[in-house]
Amino acid sequence: VLSGRATAAMKDGEVDWAFSHHMLEHVRNLDAATREISRVVKRGLFLVFPLEDEASVNKNPSHMHYSLDPDYFIKPFENLGWKRGWFEPPCELRYDYQVFLYK
């Protein structure tokens, strides 16, 4: 688990790969979180995030970001040089989007 306080003491590229499961929608500053994750993670990043609309998010007040477009969470990483590996779009049994990013 990477948190802001924990990563501040980490060197650039100190972590080989990271796993983020339902975290990005909870951070206040998505751009800052994306930059910090990109700074400390060297090779691979596995992201799992929900695709939700505003009505779904209103049920969970800790969600600060939402989108039905997976690019909302992926593009900030791509803008920092990450590339998409494989992905698994949601199915009728779940609303999660899963993507592997690499440098």
> What would the pLDDT profile of 51-83 be if each residue is shown by its tens digit?
888 888 888 889 999 999 999 999 999 999 999
Share of the chain above pLDDT 70, in %: 90
Average pLDDT, stretch 7-18? 89
Q: Identify the pLDDT of residue 7.
A: 66
Query: 92 pLDDT exceeds 80?
Result: no
Q: What does the alpha-carbon distance between residue 26 and residue 30 come to, in Å, rounded to a whole number?
A: 9
pTM: 0.86
Query: 3 pLDDT exceeds 80?
Result: no
Q: Identify the pLDDT of residue 54.
A: 85
- How does residue 40 score in pLDDT terms, banded at 50, 70 and 90? very high
Query: 1 pLDDT exceeds 60?
Result: no
Q: What does the alpha-carbon distance between residue 62 and residue 24 come to, in Å, rounded to a whole number?
A: 11
